[in-house]
Amino acid sequence: MTANVKPMLIGVNGFPVTVLLIDTNDTQATVTTAGYLSANASTTIPFSDKQTAFVYTTDAGVGNYQVSVDSLGIASLIADSATGVVSIFDAPVTDKNFAVFYGTSGQQIQDLSYSPTNASDTKVVMAAGTFVAGNLVQAGDTAGSIAPGPVAANTVLTSSIVTPDVGINLVRFDATISTTTLASAGTATLFASSGSKQYKIVGLWLNFGANLTVGNRNLTLSDGTTTYSIIPSASLLTLVNATWGSTALPFPTAAALNTSTAAGANLLAQYSGGTTDYTTGANITISGILQRVA
């Protein structure tokens, strides 16, 4: 370790300050160890806390340091972070690359070839939370942050077809309707829509269940605009398994099978015809598959 020291006196009105020019073959970490100057300086000049130094190190280049002398007269160098001087390590750098700190002094930066995906964009995406390896990420907020997602990548359906067809957005429902809800002209929701979503009915099924022994109502399935089926009372009194288009669960008589539900409208069940509601407390279960089309 060597520290070739050359003093340069400057000052104003009788208050001289010594500036030291120091050339070393040591690293910044070495020259900032306690007592470095006293142990390695090539000069016998006295050191004091009023001195500042420009020091060359092998890893950080030329930097500004303060001289510090303790009560025993041992002189050390302290990186002068208070000056705000920042040097570039390992120049030259690349235009528009990100700058990162070198070391822990806060006075050296370097270019590690980290570049933005699009230099014209103005947001740097930040991540929050603990991520799970193999899971998909999701938008964390509207400002552009990302957050860990709950969905594992290997659970997302993919296709080996080079140009796969657009997903058909099928949804299934199993709705258990209480005769208590249907009583007194009540309605029961089979499938709830939202916003302006629209669906085509792919299939409907009436499920086996306990027989309803009292009542003569039919059950209309509609979205409030289109009637998709009217289940006759005889089917409700037996509740056998039946598919859409059968006598027990007939097709619509006044609409095409591919008629979409109204925008944002729920698929509903409601009594129609007859005069007597079924005994309250019993259940009717209807299943279906819908395809979202809008």
* Overall average pLDDT of the 49-68 stretch: 89
Kindly state whether residue 21 falls inside one of the protein's structural domains.
yes
pLDDT digits (tens, 9 = 90+) for 165-195: 777 899 999 999 999 999 999 999 999 999 9
Q: By residue range, what is the domain housing residue 55?
A: 3-87
**Confidence class of residue 87 from pLDDT cuts 50, 70 and 90?**
low
Residue 265 has pLDDT above 80, yes or no: yes
Read off the pLDDT of residues 139-161 as tens digits, 9 standing for 90 and up. Answer: 888 888 898 888 888 887 777 77
Q: Are residues 278 and 182 in the same domain?
A: yes
Beta carbons within 10 angstroms of residue 168's beta carbon = 9
Mean pLDDT of all residues in 214-226: 96
In tens, the pLDDT along 111-120 reads: 889 999 988 8
In a domain, 93, yes or no: no
Determine, yes or no, domain membership for 81.
yes
What mean pLDDT is reported for the chain? 88
- Domain closes at, from 37, 69, 87: 87
Domain end point (choices 87, 120, 150): 87
pLDDT band (50, 70, 90) for residue 210 = confident
**Residue 175 and residue 80 share a domain:** no
Omega cis (within 30) before 116: no
How much is the pLDDT for 84? 53
Domain annotation covers residue 118: no
Q: By percentage, how much of the chain surpasses pLDDT 70?
A: 92
Res 9: pLDDT: 64
Q: Are residues 279 and 176 in the same domain?
A: yes
For residue 29, pLDDT over 80 is answered with: yes
Structural domain tally of the chain? 2
Per-residue confidence (pLDDT) for residue 182, from 0 to 100 = 95
pLDDT (mean) for 256-269: 97
Residue 86 confidence (pLDDT) above 80: no
Pick the last residue of a domain from 49, 67, 87: 87
Task: Please indicate, yes or no, whether the overall pTM of this predicted structure exceeds 0.85.
Answer: no
Task: Evaluate whether residue 151 is within a structural domain.
Answer: no
**Residue 59 included in any domain:** yes
Of the candidates 166, 175, 198, 199, the one whose C-alpha atom is nearest the C-alpha of residue 287 is 175
pLDDT at position 82? 45
Question: Which residue has better confidence, 12 or 151?
Answer: 151
In a domain, 94, yes or no: no
Is residue 100 included in any domain, yes or no?
no
More confident residue, 13 or 33: 33
